Amino acid sequence: MTDEQELGITKSKSHETGEWYAEVVQKAGLADYGPDGMSGFIITRPRAYALWEAVQSYLDSRFKQTGVQNAYFPLFIPKSYLEREKDIVEGFDPEVAWVDRAGRNELEEPLAVRPTSESIIAPYLAQWIRSYRDLPLRVNQWTSVVRWEATETKPFFRTKEFLWQEGHTAHRSRPSARQEMMRRLDQYVDTYEDLLAIPVLRGAKPEHDKFPGAETTTTVEALMPDGKSVQGATSHYLGTGFAEAFDITYTDENEINQPTHTTSWGLSWRALGALIMTHSDEQGLVLPPTIAPTQAVIVPIWQSETKAAVLEYAGEIEETLAAADVSVHLDDRDDRNPGFKYNEWELRGVPLRIEIGPNEAGEKTVTLVHRPDGESEMASRENLVSEVTTAFDRIYAKLYAAAEETLNSNVRQAMSRDELLGTIGRHGGYVQTPWCGEEACETAIKDEIAAEIVMVPLEEEGIHHGHSCAICDNPATKTAYFAKSYWNTASIIILHCR
């Protein structure tokens, strides 16, 4: 960054959302686009990777507390492995990248660059499981996958290669496996709400939009400020289909061979896209203190005669906060004025700015400035750590409350086709409507207004009881949540299975 003009965001979040988002990603130093000829790939810069590491650390510790062990499986999957589960082949075939040569030699069997890992993990679960004593078995891997998207891509939301975790488990019974599915869904909800400050809805995908081969797909949905939904993570109960295809069986207490019940569940760096889109503004990136790589920046303000005293005091403040495990940075550059520093750190999303001038140094205080809204407050040197911690809590609460207001004010009801189309067209957001359960009714809405069913409630609650389907007038059996989403074409439904 060489001057003030380069620091600024020039696009409007509300009117030019896509361009604004791309500008924030690049100017906040999160990602660059890949080389020419590699459309759809990005270079993840250290600041963005630190965000992903924070998500990884948060989830990984919770996975391990519930019996999950990390492993790693090959990047390449033999074609014969992929074909053993027909739904996987049919679901992912348009997006699979293939390798058929190594140097000048043609491979004996084509290798798929993993679009997902069920087909390479399942055969080894079959080897590792012998009896009921081996169950439940839980493994997870942190890795990347490749899905060769032919349509528009967007950093973190949708790229040809993306980072994620994918967990796979095997259980003795359906109840145990379904409990596992819900446990992971709950952990994803906690990740969004407690780490990212994004309230979410949880539900299930309709039958026609499940993960290929799954019996049940559950989902976490987050509403973006532009009224579109992001599928934030999914957790699947796979039934015994994968166990039967890959012979994942166990011997029970009576020496009878039984198929296992399996699950898979995953969260990708789409969570980072939702984080950026939800909280950021026309000044740049906005991050909650829970995930920000730098939680606070100290900006000293001096004249020549006060420089030594201000910097000495600023250094003491930095040491105190660092000792309390606050991620803090002292910006003591003397070739940039305070205004430039304010703009730069606001652009980069640092939640709290600590201003220290001659008055603060003399009075043993600091000025705390909140990134989301510019609110400032004085804090004493004596109570510095507790007051900074309180400021972090308040900043988080502000971000969560704003996102919660966006969500709550954008869930509406529609009882007829015209009302459904009009509500989505005028307002966006989620529209609850009675639905008969037939895919054709969703297709009719999707074809007309590019909205789809993003979820149905997990329980039987809803507005459908005693009503007809809003689209076809047949008896309604479910309540559907319609929304526009990132993105809704046939191929994206497969991508969104995580």
pLDDT at 95: 83
- C-alpha 494/C-alpha 116 separation (Å) is 11
Give the 3-state DSSP-derived string for 59-90, with helices as H, strands as E and coil as C. Answer: HHHHHHHCCCEECCCCCEEEHHHHCCCHHHHH
The pairing of strands 69-70 and 137-146 is: parallel
Element holding 43 (H helix, E strand): strand 42-44
> In this structure, are strands 430-435 and 478-483 parallel, antiparallel, or unpaired?
antiparallel
At residue 318, the pLDDT reads 98
Q: Which residues of the chain have pLDDT under 70?
A: 1-7, 85-93, 150-151, 487-498
Return all residues near 264 (Cβ < 8 A) that are at least 6 apart.
116, 118, 166, 167, 168, 169, 211, 214, 235, 236, 238
Interatomic CA distance for residues 206 and 454, integer angstroms: 8
- Closest C-alpha among 401, 431, 404, 485 to residue 219: 485
Domains in the chain: boundaries: 4-279, 296-398, 411-495
Measured in whole angstroms, the distance separating CA 262 from the mean position of its chain's CA atoms is 24
Which residues, including other chains, have CB under 8 Å from residue 362's CB and lie 6 or more apart? 309
Residue-wise pLDDT tens digits, 189-247: 999 999 999 999 999 999 999 988 899 999 999 999 999 999 999 999 999 998 998 99
Given this chain, do its domains 4-279 and 296-398 carry the same CATH topology?
no
Fold of 4-279: BirA Bifunctional Protein; domain 2 (3.30.930)
Which pLDDT belongs to residue 256? 97
The pLDDT of residue 488 is 41
Helices (H), 212-356: 241-246, 270-279, 307-323, 338-347
Q: What is the pTM of this model?
A: 0.93
**CB-based burial, 458-497: b 16+ in 10 Å, e otherwise:** eeeebbbeebbbbbeeeebbbbbbbbbbbbbeebbbbbbb
Tell which residue, 140, 91, 139, 138, has the closest CA to residue 115. 91
Which class is domain 296-398? alpha beta
Count of beta carbons in the 10 Å neighbourhood of residue 215 = 20
**Burial class for 105, CB neighbours closer than 10 Å (0-12, 13-18, 19+):** exposed
Phi-psi region of 450 (alpha: psi -120 to 50; beta: other; left: phi over 0): left
Place of tokens 């989902």: 219
| CA–CA distance, 352 with 290 (Å, rounded to integer) | 12
Please, which residues bridge with residue 482 across strands? 431, 453
List, as one string, the DSSP characters of 466-493.
Answer: T-B-TTT-SBP-EEEEEE-BS--SHHHH
* CB of 168 closer than 8 Å to CB of 140: yes
211 contacts: CB under 8 Å, gap ≥ 6: 91, 205, 217, 234, 236, 238, 264, 497
Q: Which CATH number fits domain 411-495: 3.40.190.10, 3.30.110.30, 3.40.50.1110, 3.20.20.70?
A: 3.30.110.30
Direct distance between the N- and C-terminal alpha carbons of the chain, in angstroms, rounded to an integer: 36
Cα separation of 287 and 330, whole Å?
Answer: 19
